[in-house]
A = this chain, B = another copy of it.
Amino acid sequence: MAPTRKHQVSVIGSGNWGSTIGKILAENTAEHSDTFEKDVRMWVFEEDIKVPSDSAHHDKYGDEPQKLTKVINETHENVKYLPGIKLPSNLIATPDIKEAVKDATILVFNLPHQFIDKTLDQIQGHHLPYARGISCIKGVDVSDGTVTLYSERIMEKLHIYCGALSGANIAPEVAAERLCETTIGYDPPPMDLTSEDGAPKDNLIKVDVQRQKERKPTSIKLERVPQDLPHVNGELLEKLFARPYFFVHVVKDVAGVALGGALKNVVALAAGFVAGKGWGENTKAAIIRQGVGEMIRFGRTWFPSSVNEKTFTEESAGIADLVASCYGGRNVRSATHAVEQGVSVGEIEEKEMNGQKLQGVSTAQVVYDFLDKHGKTEDFPLFCAVRNIIEGKKQVDDLPALLSKKK
């Protein structure tokens, strides 16, 4: 049966990365009108903003507070979170989450991880049961001795299949259309395969969401994407996300894609520590190499059936994002400053980031707790060294001894 309907795409979240992904989606739905409805809806957490005085749109609005959605839809620019970037006119901002997800067959999640649970609660019951999701939320949730991918959280809460997108994707650089790449992890449920690939006949199948070894599975029922819609597979996702400046590689390894985006921040702190000491390029490269090794070991230990080592060593979500984060960004910069100034990373967070917390610091701590709980700290000397240096229990000068195989 040839598809007669088109996919309706919505993006949930409108920060700088959400707006950038919204721009890409809308560019592609306009270009592939055979497959997608042209308009892309973008859910915006509504706020009253003042258009900045240096904005080209300041004249129009003056200093009067405005609804962010109104300004986006009138100016086609997210003047607050992605200023200076023209958004496609078919990217439609909406403050109403129910409106945003209604009829959407593809939901792209792109919001800070601390808002995901509350947002999913608001979506529940208002989305199509056969929608498919892509999570662009960086990181993983580690607590209580378990690692949860945000894509799994979405599956458990909304009972829809969800993949993950991650890569060396600093939002303003992607928005400026500078050459870069990303990785999408998407392992379609069996019912979404073509009949030649052995799709089952059922419209509803039970799936166990259980990626991390030892974790108790959550059973959910997945509904088939109706056959009058185009197949949601790697090819379709490339059509939706790839641009001439944004290369997309689709892999099956959802867990590896998500883990790469989380663990890289710990390695970036280590890279900052040795840079702060002035130890040079050799040392930073050694830290990156050891970091990749521990990322692989982490994946292999807790996601043995799903993780593919190549996600870490050959994909944008792995090595490329790691390298970019070890040479640019807040984690490496703050760690460098801490060592140069002889203060703790915490003091740098206070001083340079108005108390905002570095992603790498919290990840290093939760990863350490997780490893400790499983009695595996010795297998991850770099990850643990970073946490111990943050805590003041070890010094950067201890790194050679801590990383040496000879104990």
Contacts and interface: CB of A to CB of B under 8 A. Distances in A.
B285 A321 contact: yes
A286 B405 contact: no
A324 B279 CA distance: 12
Nearest to A319: B289
Nearest to A249: B405
Interface string A275-289: 000011111111011
Interface residues of A, number: 45
A286 B173 contact: no
Given A181-B289, A319-B292, A324 B284 contact: yes
A212 B259 CA distance: 38
B282 A244 contact: no
A59 to B, nearest CB: 30
B323 A245 contact: no
A55 to B, nearest CB: 23
8 contacts: A179-B399, A180-B286, A280-B328, A281-B329, A284-B323, A289-B316, A296-B314, A313-B313
Interface of A: 168-170, 173-174, 178-181, 244-245, 247, 274, 279-286, 288-289, 292-293, 296, 310, 313-316, 319-321, 323-324, 327-329, 399-401, 403-405
Given A180-B283, A247-B286, 20 more contacts: A168-B285, A173-B280, A173-B281, A174-B282, A179-B286, A180-B285, A181-B282, A244-B404, A247-B403, A247-B405, A280-B328, A281-B329, A284-B324, A285-B320, A288-B323, A289-B315, A289-B316, A293-B314, A323-B323, A327-B327
